[in-house]
């Protein structure tokens, strides 16, 4: 069933059934490129959440005891279904989130590969036998932690949910996932692939609702054994505190404010073009987006000129248009944040080199913006913009740049540009971040870990480390009786 906009009717998925909320409460779903309401998302009641928890508890017992070969077969089928549906799921994502269609479709294809990676990696979640005393068999085994409660944001409607679902399901856990109410249909289409592949009822449950109500209910439940969250630092702190009250482990992938250090031996034009491409992906609404550009004073003008040129070449528009290279912001709140950060910087003496304002049309469009002469106390240098604003700040020596890069309490991603191997090693050792890219602004990949330090969270997603949170390590000492 679809609406007049070609947008599917959204349902929750609980205990193997697609359903509305118990009271029929809904919230509107808005296309950010047009500001039109294109659908409604059902909001869960406490009774709905209890049904999902009960289903996850029962589903875990089934899935945990399902042979790994059979689990792998079902999950590979789900990945193949998702790959085959990438174009349609990508179109749905663009309708509800706004990013260009090429980005949306590419995201769907990538998450299918993320699932495949986790499937194969989970087959190698080995234990070990430890030499011990005579007559004793000492072993270490890895077992699924249990039902997972997961919470994901709207900026990557496929990537966010799949990171949690793929790790949980391949580890043998069940999961209740609350996806974003702004982008519910993409998450539902991912779940549909698992359901169509034959995943047993109750193993995967999808809910929506008032975030604070849903998180409090799921975290407090004795059913859940792990809390997995991607989102802002303030919300992450609240959820981690709630999890701590009931001594539940949590996985926190939180926000950042990624510095880019352009060293004096770098090519300023190449660095600017590379950094600008990354800055305007998903309209800057990426936790790892480069967001503070620290450029050696000898390169600052050349870097800025090339960056402005790249920003002005961005085609802003509806993500369904083939010529669009940057879509809208997700909602009016993000627009307000862009206006506030820009106005604050200008009031403190910054210069707008390009952009700096909302575009005069329907939709939540903000022009790609470059700021120079930005004073150290400007809010944009301390608050993650999460949008298409690029403040450029010159520095005189690398120690100064490293101090500026590390002085914030965040440490998710950082970037550096240099032609010196020695300087690259210095950046790698000195920058306080969980993800570092040299001479490019690389995104997350499923074969390597991603995660933050300091207030940007703890735990890792991606790579062999991704399963650590979803598995418990069990020591078994077996006295052999003759």
Strand partners, 470: none
Half-sphere exposure of 145 (CA within 13 A, CB side): 22
d(CA 339, CA 445): 32
Q: How many Å apart are CA 175 and CA 196, to the nearest integer?
A: 17
Q: Classify the phi-psi angles of 16: left when phi > 0, otherwise alpha if psi is within -120 to 50, otherwise beta.
A: left
* Gyration radius from the chain CA atoms: 23
71-75 LR contacts (CB < 8 Å, sep 24+): 71/169, 71/170, 71/172, 72/119, 72/120, 72/122, 72/123, 74/194, 74/197, 74/198, 74/199, 75/115, 75/119, 75/166, 75/169, 75/170, 75/194, 75/197, 75/199
CA dist 282 → 93, 97, 103, 288 (Å): 12, 9, 8, 11
Name the DSSP letter for residue 464: G
- Is 253 among the residues known to form the active site? yes
3-state secondary structure of 293: strand
Active-site annotation holds for 213: no
Q: Active-site residue among 287, 306, 384, 461?
A: 287
Q: One of 58, 103, 182, 253 is an active-site residue; which one?
A: 253
Both tokens of residue 133? Answer: 């005393």
End-to-end CA distance of the chain: 65
Burial class (CB in 10 A: 0-12, 13-18, 19+), 276: buried
Reduced to 3 states (helix: H, G, I; strand: E, B; else coil), residue 31 is strand
HSE, CB side, 13 Å, CA atoms: give it for residue 146.
13
**In this structure, how many other beta carbons lie within 10 angstroms of the beta carbon of residue 435?**
26
251 three-state secondary structure: strand
What angle is formed at CA 93 by the lines to CA 277 and CA 326, rounded to 5 degrees?
25
Just list the catalytic residues: 253, 287
């Amino acid at each position: 069933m679809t609406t007049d906009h070609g947008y599917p009717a959204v349902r929750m998925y609980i205990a193997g059934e697609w359903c509305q909320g118990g009271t029929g409460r809904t919230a509107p779903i808005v296309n950010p490129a047009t500001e039109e309401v294109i659908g409604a998302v059902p909001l869960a009641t406490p009774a709905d959440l209890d049904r999902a928890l009960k289903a996850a508890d029962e589903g875990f017992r089934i899935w945990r005891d399902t042979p790994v070969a059979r689990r792998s077969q079902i999950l590979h089928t789900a990945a193949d279904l998702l790959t085959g549906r990438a174009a349609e799921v990508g179109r749905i994502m663009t309708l509800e989130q706004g990013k260009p269609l090429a980005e949306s479709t590419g995201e769907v294809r990538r998450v299918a590969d993320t699932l495949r990676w986790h499937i194969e990696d989970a087959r190698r979640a080995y234990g070990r036998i430890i030499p011990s005393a005579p007559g004793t068999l000492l072993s270490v085994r890895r077992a699924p932690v249990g039902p997972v409660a997961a919470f994901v944001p709207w900026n990557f409607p496929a990537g966010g949910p799949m990171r949690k679902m793929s790790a949980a399901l391949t580890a043998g856990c069940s999961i209740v996932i609350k996806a974003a109410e702004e982008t519910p249909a993409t998450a539902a289409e991912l779940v549909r692939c698992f359901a169509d592949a034959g995943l047993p009822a109750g193993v995967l449950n999808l809910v929506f609702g008032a975030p604070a109500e849903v998180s409090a209910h799921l975290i407090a439940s004795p059913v859940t054994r792990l809390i997995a969250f991607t989102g802002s630092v303030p919300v992450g702190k609240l959820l981690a505190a709630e999890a701590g009250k009931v001594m539940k482990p949590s996985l926190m992938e939180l926000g950042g404010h990624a510095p880019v250090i352009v060293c004096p031996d770098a090519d300023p034009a190449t660095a600017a073009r590379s950094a600008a491409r990354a800055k305007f992906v998903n309209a800057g609404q990426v936790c790892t987006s480069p967001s503070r550009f620290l450029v050696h004073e000898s390169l600052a003008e050349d870097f800025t000129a090339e960056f402005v040129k790249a920003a002005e070449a961005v085609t802003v528009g509806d993500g369904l248009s083939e010529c669009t290279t940057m879509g809208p912001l997700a909602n009016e709140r993000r627009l307000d944040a862009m206006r506030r950060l820009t106005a604050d910087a200008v009031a403190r003496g910054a210069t707008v080199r390009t952009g700096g304002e909302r575009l005069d049309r329907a939709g939540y469009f903000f022009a790609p913006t470059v700021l120079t002469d930005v004073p150290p106390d400007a809010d944009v240098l301390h608050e993650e913009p999460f949008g298409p604003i690029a403040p450029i700040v010159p520095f005189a020596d690398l120690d100064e740049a490293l101090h500026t890069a590390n002085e914030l309490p965040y440490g998710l991603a950082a970037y550096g540009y240099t032609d010196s191997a020695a300087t690259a090693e210095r950046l790698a050792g000195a920058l306080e971040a969980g993800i570092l890219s040299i001479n490019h602004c690389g995104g997350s990949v499923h074969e390597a870990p991603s995660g933050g330090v300091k207030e940007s969270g703890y735990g890792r997603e991606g790579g062999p480390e991704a399963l650590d949170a979803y598995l418990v390590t069990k020591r078994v000492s077996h006295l052999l009786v003759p």
